[in-house]
Structure 1
Amino acid sequence: MGKVTLRNLAAHKIRLVLTAVSVILGVAFVAGTLIFTDSMNKQFDELFSRVGVNVAVDVRAEKIVDGDDDGMAAQPVPESLLATLRGVEGVKNPTGNVNGYAAVVGKDGKVIGTPQNGPPQLGVNWTGGESYDLASGRAPQGPGEVVVDQRTAEKGDLSVGDTVRVLTQGPPQRMRIVGLADAGNLMGATLTAFDTPTAQRLMLRPGYFSDIEMASSGPSQAELRDRVAKVLPDGLEAVTGEKLREEAKSDIAAMMNFFRTFLLVFALISIFVGAFIIFNTFSMLVAQRTRELALLRAVGAARAQVTRAVIGEAVAVGIVGSTLGLLVGAGLATMLQSQVGDAGDGGLTFTVTPVIWSYVVGVVVTVVSAYFPARRAAKIPPVAAMRDDVALPQRSMRIRVALGSLLTLVGAALIGVGLTADGGNAVVPVGAGAFAVFIGVAMLAPVISVPVLRVLGAPAARLLGSPGRLARQNALRNPRRTAATAAALMIGLALITTVNVLGATMRASVDDQIDSQFGADYLVSSQGAAGVAAGVERKVKAVPGVASASTVYQGDAKIAGKKAPYVSGDAAVIAKAAKLKIVSGGTAIGPAGIMVDEDSAKKNGWKVGSAVPVTFTDGKTERLTVAGVFAKSDLIGSRLVSQQAYLRHTVNPTVDAILVDAAADNPASRSALQTALSDHPDLEVLDQAALKEDVRKEVDGFVTFLTILLVMSVIIAAVGVVNTLALSVIERTREIGLLRAIGISRRQLRRMIRLESIMIALFGAVLGVTIGVAFGAALQNALADKGLGVLAVPYGTIGVYLVVAAVIGVLAALWPAWRAGRMDVLKAIATE
């Protein structure tokens, strides 16, 4: 039977190559994701191996708020502690570090790097340690000198001796570059180094460090840590250098694991779609080889042998597809690296993991998809070899309809349960529910296809005559095959439509929130991590035409024992700017007050006058009095803390935004503000329209990214349409010969096949967009209380997808139609 398998592979090369394409694309996504994340993990390991390599113990502020890794918000370490640490036995070279935000402005007037949602812009004090080496120039020695990393200098066209603007939390600084640092691959981050006094003044406060690190002159890290801990004041802790590096690595590992899982989800979607194509292809191959397989049974082949022969073909397709998919995956990983800028400059890292998973996924999916057609082949009776009109038996649709209906209902229920769950608990039921719905609809598709295809094919049948009528009849002839082909396209377009409905809903909801909740004329905000620089508020107030300007802060604290974000500032101004609806109390919160929304008040049993314990990042706890309760606000969140309380407990206050009211809201006012802030290229002046546009850009970028990832599944589905049509043409060789014999022209024949392809593609698209809109509406309904209050369906985009589906049908039919048109009429008629 091994020879039979090899002969069949050689006899059906084109058909199996098309099937292998589905495997290649799916495996490529898996392999590319694994190779990319392995490569990035190796680069991060190399980066962290250079940082703090000789640090035995590090002294830092205790983390009061879980997850607070922002050194600018944490309690600083006093410089005077250095003398104490030098007196601890075993401590060697204690060195204070200053870490914060610092960005360099290039010669083009733009901030170097991508601060918003991108790699950090690091500001440090130059310590002369082993973390960074000087590539040229010298170390900074005064308040007007700075060192930048080589990559930042290249991006900004800067060199030693140039004067640059440096942005920090304070006013912009004019400084001279005195050296370039070889910092290795900072994964897209930028590095700016000052002398220690300057770094303290600009990024922290004079006389303080972010942390103090030290080496050991003999004791183990754990022993030295215990010795150091005994001399530390309250609020500070000592950790080993090993733990410090592990914390940094674990944070990165968690991020990369999430990214890997995120990409693998889309890879699995592509493989899921490919499974439909493989199943369809092997089902058609088995149907076309009924007599051949029956003859094998007649000459003595057992059922198991026939099954193994078909499975053997699947294994061969899986191995070839997995091998090529692994190679394509390496190219995909290279492309992904090119999209992450400097972070992808370290080259690819190849491990055994992508290889193993590529073959496991490719071969297993192919074999599983081919298993049921193989079993069907084994059931062909030997007597079938003696008949010309033998056909594989078809099961009744009743079981299929019942099971499909059950799966669809169960899937919908699981999605509903998942969407009402909290946090990560939603992922498994939603994913399982979506999978069940897709399988259920795919099982119901043969029944659905009959009425839908009659409607879709009616215009062609009426307007295009015989080719149109024949195309509709061909699409309806085998509903199972048509449904299996269309199901692959359905899945891809369903997910793309869901993403687009969700994106349109997010845009519409944000527009509604801004219209109903944003009452200020302008918002001055920063693209950088450090927020709006100190002194900007004074500049804004000095602009002619500005009636008022008020700062808004953001922070994290433990409120009633749980970590919670909050905003702070002038409560009356923020309430007016956010159009808060006061339910009880008022905005006069004083130096020790807090305002909360209705949900928080109800959940915690708070009312006006209640005392709320709040633990700030400096470790101190203060009981704030509830001064007012307001209706839900998506713009400011659930808590508004007294500005005085925020400033009392924050070492380095960070202005999140400035609310501006102008005497006259017109383009001249905004232009005047932009001119006044020209020294701060990291700041934006936004009115209502610009704020909406900013949000739309972020949403559109996210939707586009997801859509691109899902396009792979649509490409696989298109390959499936090509494969089905090509096999269908071969299956109908004699029929096509007869059509040509009775007078149908080559042009009409090609038109018939193109129309059939378009109908199949449109059927899949109609199913897909219908399910996608339903999924999107379900998501919006479940998340209505979390900011998605307005359902929006992008009808124009959906229309474009239907047109694209029709184009896919035309393109998919080109080769099968060309092949059908070239058939020799007499040979076609003589085909058995």
Structure 2
Amino acid sequence: MRLRDYRASIIVAALSGAFGAALVIATTVVAAAIGAHQLAGEHESVRLTVLVVSAVFFAIAIYVSAVVTANTVATVIAGRVREIALYRLIGADSSRLRRGIAREGLACAALGALIGTVPIIVAGLVGVPMLVDAKVLPETTYDVLDPLLIAPFLITIAMGYLASWVGSQRVSQVTPIQALGVAAADPTRPVSLGRRVGAYVLLIGGLFALLGGVALGLFSPLGLLVALVGGVLSFSGIVMLSPVLMPALLRLTGGWMGRSPAARIAAANAVRYPERSARSMVGIVIGVTLVTMFAVASSTYVQMMIGIADAQPEYADGMNEILTMTLAIFSGLFGFSALIAAVGLVNNLALGVIQRAPELGLLRTLGFSTGQIRRMIITESAQMTLVSVFFGLILGTFYGWCGAQATLGAMLGHGLVTPALPWGVFGIILVLAIVVAIGASLAPSRRATRGSAVAALAAD
């Protein structure tokens, strides 16, 4: 197993394991702190409520990690086509190869979950007593080593294995004949009818469930769970349609980067290889959607709470405490989602450039200079990033409003509200995404253009 190829899978598994462990410990500590001033029965009720909310956040984190892992595995396989084809040529069965890749994914998920979970548990064991001594937490019993800690650890491993199995389905598309030539992805292979139908079913059904959760949220807090299911299903449909959707968006924006030879080839490449473009863009869309969703949800929540405080001044002090706690929680979610976005973006762009060594070598033999090739790679990355960011901002705004509305509609009794748009956050997301995309392209582009063009043409 090449751990270097699976660094992104290990990192997102570590983030998921750490996030899940932190949620369990935080849930236990917060419920115990609140329960120190309440009856035992109320304490269990508070703990259950906080646990449900934490489970929703962890489900979102696991889903995002699973998509990033599946995307990473598909990218790795795209770079090992000739090696896999050689195994096929000597008689290896595709299902056996897929099982091997899934086992690699299982090992990566287990390693990542362990790396992420253990430090959080140690931090909890050390940090909670320190907070009690500092009078930040009340004197009571805190069960940091909650048996529920095993749940996020095992779920992270299981989802890593399943995501690797899903990502390995590309192995069945590799033919033995590809061992005899340059292993390039087939740019003309259409998305299968079954995948299209399944994607549309998930997308349409998920949107109905999402809007149903918003409607249910006007009367019951269960609207959040219904909206969560709808959001996962509808976004899964978008991911499945990405090889069709992303190139279509790129065609509309092909002239954004100018008309120089490098810019025109970059725009053509982005459309010519839809699967490769989709793999690179989906990671950006996921990250931007997630960050934007939390930003819009928290801004909408703050807007609603301020409205209540203005209408009922006697609750203003209590509202301020709630807002402070809520914003602290959402800040943690921002950080986690931004890390996931950066990992997926950097990994896919870097692997994609490195695996294109034969293509870049051919351009060099045709007279392209090293500078032109680097500008082409950066231009292609910039175009895909811009399109992905704008698409993610639209999706994140919609999902964030739905989440806030489904969660708070019944609780605050405001009915439907207008989403609060944090324009400053949008600007920061756009700038950071472009900077990270260009930075992620520079190092691999130098590596890909280093050495002779003939050696690049012969690269696997």
- TM-score, with normalisation over the residues of structure 1? 0.48
In the TM superposition, residue 733 of structure 1 has moved relative to its aligned partner by 0.8
The answer to whether structure 1 residue 718 and structure 2 residue 345 are counterparts is: no
Kindly report which structure 2 residues correspond to 1:20-99, keeping only aligned pairs within 5 A, or say none: 20-37=10-27, 44=32
- In the alignment, the residues of structure 1 paired with residue 50 and residue 173 of structure 2 have an alpha-carbon distance, to the nearest angstrom, of 46
* Structure-2 change in CA distance of 1:387 and 1:21 (3 Å): same
Which residue in 2 is equivalent to 1:285?
Answer: 76
* SS, match of residue 91 in structure 2: coil
When you count strand as a share of all residues, which structure comes out higher? 1
Q: 1:214: which partner in 2?
A: none
| 101, 105, 122: which one aligns with 1:314 | 105
1:343 aligns with 2:131: no
Indicate the residue corresponding to 1:458 in structure 2: 255
Q: Deviations over 1:137-162 (max 9, x none)?
A: xxxxxxxxxxxxxxxxxxxxxxxxxx
Shift of 1:525: 7.5
Q: Which residue of 1 aligns with 2:429?
A: 801
SS state at 1:32 partner: helix
**1:778 CA displacement:** 5.0
Partner Cα separation in structure 1 for residue 9 and residue 416 of structure 2 = 44
SS in 1 for 2:256: helix
Q: 1:365 aligns with which of 129, 149, 159?
A: 159
Residue in 1 aligned with 2:414? 787
| Partners of 1:379 and 1:357 in 2: CA distance | 34
The reply to whether residue 449 of structure 1 matches residue 246 of structure 2 is: yes
Is residue 2:204 matched to residue 1:409? yes
What letter is aligned with 2:269? Answer: N
Q: Decide whether aligned partners of structure 1 residues 312 and 793 sit closer, same or farther in structure 2, where only a CA change above 3 A counts.
A: closer
Q: Does structure 1 residue 475 correspond to structure 2 residue 276?
A: no
Are residues 1:423 and 2:50 paired? Answer: no
Match of 1:15 in 2: 5
**Measured at CA, do residues 290 and 430 of structure 1 come closer, stay the same or move farther in structure 2, by a change above 3 Å?**
same
In structure 2, what is the Cα distance between the partners aligned to 1:817 and 1:339? 48
Conserved 8 A contact 2:294-2:334: no
**Does 2:91 align with 1:300?**
yes
For the 8 Å contact 2:27–2:54, the answer to whether it is kept is no
Alignment of 1:485-504 (within 5 A): 485-504=280-299
Higher relative contact order (CA 8 A, sep 6+): 2
| Alpha-carbon displacement from aligned partner over 1:539-562 (angstroms, at most 9, x marks no partner) | xxxxxxxxxxxxxxxxxxxxxxxx
Partner-residue secondary structure (3-state), 1:759: helix
Please state how far the C-alpha of 1:508 moved relative to its aligned partner: 5.4
> After superposition, what is the alpha-carbon deviation per residue over 1:133-191, rounded to whole angstroms, capped at 9, x for unaligned?
xxxxxxxxxxxxxxxxxxxxxxxxxxxxxxxxxxxxxxxxxxxxxxxxxxxxx97x8xx
Contact 1:273 1:488 in 2 (8 A): no
Larger mean Cα displacement after TM superposition, 417-426 or 724-733: 417-426
SS in 1 for 2:241: helix
TM-score by length of structure 2 reads 0.82
Contact 2:354 2:447 in 1 (8 A): no
Please give the alpha-carbon distance, in whole angstroms, between the structure 2 residues aligned to 1:454 and 1:336. Answer: 52
The SS at the match of 1:793 is coil
Structure 1: runs of 5 or more not aligned:
1-8, 45-118, 121-185, 190-246, 529-693
Residues 1:384 and 1:817: Cα distance change in structure 2 (over 3 Å): closer
Amino acid at match of 2:332: I
| RMSD (CA atoms) | 3.8
Q: How does 1:114-153 map to 2 (within 5 A)?
A: none
Letter in 1 for 2:13: V
Report the 3-state secondary structure (helix = DSSP H, G, I; strand = E; otherwise coil) of the residue aligned with 2:238. helix
Secondary structure class of the residue paired with 1:420: helix
Q: Distance in 1 between matches of 2:60 and 2:459?
A: 39
Q: In the alignment, residue 816 of structure 1 is paired with which amino acid?
A: P
1:803/1:442 Cα in 2 relative to 1: closer, same or farther (>3 Å)? same
The answer (yes or no) to whether the contact 2:21–2:149 under 8 Å persists in 1 is: yes
Conservation of the 8 A alpha-carbon contact between 2:82 and 2:183:
no
Query: 1:372-398 CA deviation, whole Å, 9 max, x = no partner?
Result: 343442564444434445757945354
The 1:486–1:347 alpha-carbon spacing in structure 2 relative to 1, beyond 3 Å, is: farther
Deviation of 1:439 after TM superposition, in Å, equals 0.8
Please state whether the residue corresponding to 2:6 is helix, strand or coil: helix
Deviation at 1:510, TM superposition (A): 6.6
The answer (yes or no) to whether the contact 2:199–2:237 under 8 Å persists in 1 is yes
The alignment partner of 2:24 has SS state of helix
Match of 2:179 in 1: 385
Partners in 1 of 2:228 and 2:314 — Cα distance? 40
Q: Pick from 713, 722, 738: which aligns with 2:362?
A: 738
Segments of structure 2 that go 5 or more residues without pairing to the other structure are none
Work out which of the two has the higher radius of gyration on C-alpha atoms and give 1 or 2. Answer: 1
How many corresponding residue pairs? 449
Change (3 A) 1:279 1:39: same
Distance 1:501 1:348, change over 3 A: same
